[in-house]
Structure 1
Amino acid sequence: MHPSARPYADRHIALLTQHGKERVIGPALEPGLGCTIEHVSGFDTDLLGTFTRETARAGSQLDAARRKARKGMELSGLDAGLASEGSFGPDPFTGMVPWNVELIAWLDDRLGIEVVGMAQGPARSGHLLSDDWSAVEAFAQREGFPQHQLVLRPESQDDTRMHKGIADWDRLRHCFDACQAQASNRQVFVETDLRAFANPTRMRLIEQAAQDLLQRLQSSCPACNTPGYWVTERVPGLACSACGRPTASCRAEVWSCPRCEYQSRVSKATQALTDPRHCAHCNP
């Protein structure tokens, strides 16, 4: 909305990741911002939580992204950093589709701001418990294997014996046979590997979240010129054209600066009234 004058030109930004996210985050941000994204290692990010449930994530998804970004800044000595964190669950619309939400937190101690990019969409995050190789084979094909890697365990989803990073058919069959031999019930639990480098669908959403972050960082506050001026609230209440009651349709957006207290309210109504299909009274 308010393009900035590249405040991050020539700055170095820490990115802590051990799962290959630098491959999509750097190219998405560097050309537009003029910065250098520095890949930081030396810390096991799995200590902050794993999708395979060995370590529970403490706090929220955003809390985890902040902790990673801050740790990257500490390790690199840089005054700005970013990190991403994903979550998986049912979709927010029907509750029936596997869903992935990706957040990227950008921390800048020099300006004293936090800006968060986000993307969401359908996920490759299936699972299966079976003693039948043909069923496992069919599941793997549905989940996009071998591009999308798999994780296998004997007996149940909670078994701590685990085979990760399975990325070819021969190893999949070998791990299936090994797990079945270990399981007292002959069952093998198969799930999609949700680590970024092992899940191309997730990696594409991380790239989209980085593009969303770029847009936010290229929008500057009209009052203080700080990057990150963006929508912080969508105000519902556009009136129904049939009954006149307020609906959930957006009638205005509130834009806010992450640093100063400046806000503006922007009307989003292209017309004074909205269609009755959006009205809870006319279309319950």
Structure 2
Amino acid sequence: MSADTPSLGIISPVRRIGRREFDFERQVAIMAIVNRTPNSFHDRGRTYALDSAVAAARKAVAEGADWVDVGGFAFSADQEQIPAEEEIERVVPVIVQVRAVTDAVISVDTHRAEVARAAIKAGADVINDTNGLREPGIAETAAATGTSVVVTHSLGGPGRRIARPSYADVVTEVAAFLRERVEFALKAGIAPDRIIIDPGHDLNKNTYHSLELTRRLDEITSMGYPTLVALSNKDFIGETLDRPQGERTEGTIAANVVAILKGARVLRVHDVAATVASVRMTEAVLGWRGPIAPAHNL
């Protein structure tokens, strides 16, 4: 079977991303979130300082993260716009220092081509674009460098306010958007085995939309591209369980396990250690890996 032949529905399930190889037929990659922003929705600036961001990334890798996602501009519209130069100043030093100490995958969470270029030069392996490759030049940057991309659904993109988002059928519309943006990526020269998709839970979506996306996630994963889900501590979990930001770990784990069963293969998370344990258990139950320390009863 060739590398480009879908197997169990996944296009090129065995992938080399940066310095690591993943088999998405039987493996879930865990992406740790490191936001060098003063206003990220969960950590509220705890990793804004450079030393704090680098320490958080190193801790995440030590706890078992396969991947570190570095961001310098929050998605929320409740922030001041910053120039690309400032975003570069936030993310590049983190990437340089993390790259020096780990072979884990590093992605840059950005929608700007100039930020992506600077991040790749600093050692990033992936462009994680919550704007769905709509900014001029970003798809061409990925194609020219051979960088993998995460193509994410959102209505307005980072920093843009969408009041009361509405969908006739959120899953159908998200899937149609992702198909169109994937086609755009392919035409721009990005190889199929460099594309990952993300339905964008809570990005211009309310709680009912995000629950529906999770319940019907197989309609997204059936597109064939490895699917990333970013569910960690999001408002749809808080509103579903009536839990504040600091009390959503159990809900996050439950939603992530459901997503895995529906075909998700990359989880973007805050709580790495808890996620690693839940994912390893899920993989073992599915028969993808054996127990780490089985008792050998003769």
Measured against the shorter chain, the TM-score band is under 0.3
- TM-score of the superposed pair, with normalisation by structure 1: 0.27
- TM-score of the superposed pair, with normalisation by structure 2: 0.26
Larger CA Rg, structure 1 vs 2:
1
| Higher RCO (C-alpha under 8 Å, 6+ residues apart) | 2
Greater strand share, 1 or 2? Answer: 1
Greater helix share, 1 or 2? Answer: 2
